[in-house]
Structure 1
Amino acid sequence: MDGSVARPRPFLALGLRLATAATLATMAMLVKLAGEHGAHLAELVFWRQFISLICIAALLAAWGKLGTIRTKRFGAHTLRAAYGLTGMFFVYGAVILLPLAEATAISFTAPFFAVLLAVVLFGEKVGMYRWGAVALGFSGVVVLTQPAFGLGGATGMDPIGAVVGLVAAFMVALISFQIQDLNKTEAPWTIVFWFVALTTPVAALALPFVFQPHDAQTWAIIVAMALCGALAQILLTTSLRFGSAGVILLMDYTSLLWATWYGFSVFDRAPPASLWLGAPLIVAAGLLIAWRERQIAVARQKTQTTEV
């Protein structure tokens, strides 16, 4: 695949994002499982990037596509790597600190942060629909992170974990804009390669301080986690090449189903009542944002057609 701008293919983008959601949910489950087996957060980040780098470099070499990693936007890749590595620590930290379903639900606030970033970074005008959706979504976060009004004896969410989860969602929104910008000139393989190539040496700096021996089962979990991460990175980047972030982010909501199932089947934790009260508000707000952005995109396209 060359570095030219891809033509929009919305159904392909949605399918890729659906696969991304399932893969990321599986990776999150493995991150939490590895953490419970004694693996340090910084160690997990390193192995995720290092193994991804080996896999991606090997695939590019086998396919004779190493030449595709040439870039004239090294500075943009460096900035994406810095934000991406920071985001990984917060995303993994939220998964380790919080139950899977709750961490996943909080991650759904990414579209709300995307709206705020669109205003701050691009001066986009946001109407009452999207501002209302942001308010609705964050009200869902308040419900989710507080005791569920005494239902089932809920004690509330770990406040540190909740903050880490919200920062992680903000970073996901920010990185989505970065990837969309890189996709204008770069191939998905180029974006993924430079991300892992630039972040692996940085992540390795922490390894002497956190590394510890593991048994075979823990190593298997770590390797599986890293492979899921590599696959998810490729799927996510490609999905943003063929569709807009505001629309395909809808598919991320399916990860809550995976997270709830993993939480119950792997960690023996049933979702609390606050999840069923807060998550629908967050999802509804995300759907409202996507619907409104779709309306705006259609109207803009009609205007451009008329002008032509």
Structure 2
Amino acid sequence: MSPFRGVVLKLLSVLLFIIMAALIKATAARIPAGEAVFFRSFFAMPVIVGWLMMRHDLSTGFRAKSPMGHVLRGIAGVASMGTGFAALGLLPLPEVTAIGYVSPLLTVLLAAALLGERLRAFRMTAVFIGLVGVMVILWPRLTLADVDRAAAIGVTLILVSSVLRALAQIQIRRLVASEQTSAIVFYFSLTATVLSLLTLPFGWVMPTAPEAVMLVAAGLIGGLAQILLTAAYRYSEAALLAPFEYASMIFALLIGYVVFEEVPTGTMLIGAVIVIAAGVLIIWRERQLGLRRGRAKAALTPQG
């Protein structure tokens, strides 16, 4: 184990995922979400396959003991990715990032409902605090007399994406009982590529040269970020690495301000701090209880 190396890899993966999201956002005005999912998934596959070859793990990555389990994870993950990408075109990057933090909180509730995990008072309180934080972020959009319809749709999309991502996390927890992390990572990219093609009749467009470069880069960077995330959990405990996920807020604020001229509101920042605090409380409690979910976390992308 090398905790410092694990933390560095985790932070690099978080940064790359935010850069990937920024690239998708930059193309969102013209490129449909389903088409963006295709580029993100298809061009991640060569990176993932190359990684498996370097680890001499190609046969393990191709071995699926539960094909239908991978399909179910793929459906939830692709739907989460698609709705999340659509939200990026309608909301500021920091706001999408902050609202997305509700997903781990929802996972706690779904794990109790679907996996039979005990939902203790401490975690239930932390989930409630996190949901209050989300409401603080959303409150200005719910109370304006002249509601921005596009922003309202964006909020709905990212909330749906968060629920779907939580469902994907539940399915991954089921998969890790029989599947290797490398297989979960590979088959998600494969199923996401195939499933995204189903959106072809709904209006794909020919990307311009700059758009094509950004979309291909998003796929390559997303694949590399997934590898770094997986590698991070080889060097350090999940409980140690989990809080560093919230560094994505810092990266989103910087990139949103510099690239998209997005200035966060005080209300959004307060809500984000509340949600992050709730997430850290849950992480701390799970560490106290000795829960280890590194393999599941290593197989999950921010999109599902």
For the aligned pair, the TM-score class normalised by the smaller chain equals: 0.7 to 0.9
- How big is the shift at 1:43? 0.9
8 Å CA contact 1:148–1:273 kept in 2: the answer is: no
Question: 1:72-126, CA deviations, whole angstroms, 9 ceiling, x for partnerless residues?
Answer: 2212212211111111112212222210001100111122112101211222222
Partner of 2:34: 42
Partner of 2:218: 225
Partner of 1:147: 140
* Gap change, CA 1:62 and 1:14, over 3 Å in 2: closer
Q: 2: distance between equivalents of 1:114 and 1:297?
A: 18
* Gap change, CA 1:127 and 1:67, over 3 Å in 2: closer
Residue among 264, 272, 278 paired with 2:265: 272
8 Å CA contact 1:13–1:238 kept in 2: the answer is: yes
Deviates more, 1:123-132 or 1:231-240: 231-240
What is the DSSP-based 3-state SS (H/G/I as helix, E as strand, rest coil) of the residue aligned with 1:206? helix
- How big is the shift at 1:234? 2.9
- How big is the shift at 1:148? 8.9
Partner of 2:71: 78
* Gap change, CA 1:163 and 1:247, over 3 Å in 2: farther
Deviates more, 1:127-136 or 1:21-30: 127-136
8 Å CA contact 2:35–2:204 kept in 1: the answer is: yes
Partner of 1:215: 208
8 Å CA contact 1:137–1:281 kept in 2: the answer is: yes
* Gap change, CA 1:181 and 1:237, over 3 Å in 2: farther
* Identity across matched positions, percent: 35
* Gap change, CA 1:55 and 1:294, over 3 Å in 2: closer
> Normalising to structure 1: TM-score of the pair?
0.82
Residue among 175, 187, 204 paired with 1:182: 175
* Gap change, CA 1:148 and 1:80, over 3 Å in 2: closer
Q: Which runs of 5+ in 2 are unaligned?
A: 292-304
Partner of 2:22: 29
8 Å CA contact 2:111–2:170 kept in 1: the answer is: no
Q: How many residues align?
A: 289
Q: 2: distance between equivalents of 1:167 and 1:14?
A: 30
- How big is the shift at 1:60? 4.3
Q: 2: distance between equivalents of 1:160 and 1:9?
A: 43
Q: Which runs of 5+ in 1 are unaligned?
A: 1-7, 299-308
8 Å CA contact 1:176–1:245 kept in 2: the answer is: no
- How big is the shift at 1:245? 6.1
Question: 1:26-57, CA deviations, whole angstroms, 9 ceiling, x for partnerless residues?
Answer: 11111100113x21211111111121223334
What is the DSSP-based 3-state SS (H/G/I as helix, E as strand, rest coil) of the residue aligned with 1:266? helix
Partner of 1:3: none
Instruction: Establish whether residue 113 from structure 1 lines up as the match of residue 100 from structure 2.
Output: no
Q: 2: distance between equivalents of 1:159 and 1:245?
A: 35
8 Å CA contact 1:111–1:249 kept in 2: the answer is: no
CA RMSD of aligned residues (A): 3.0
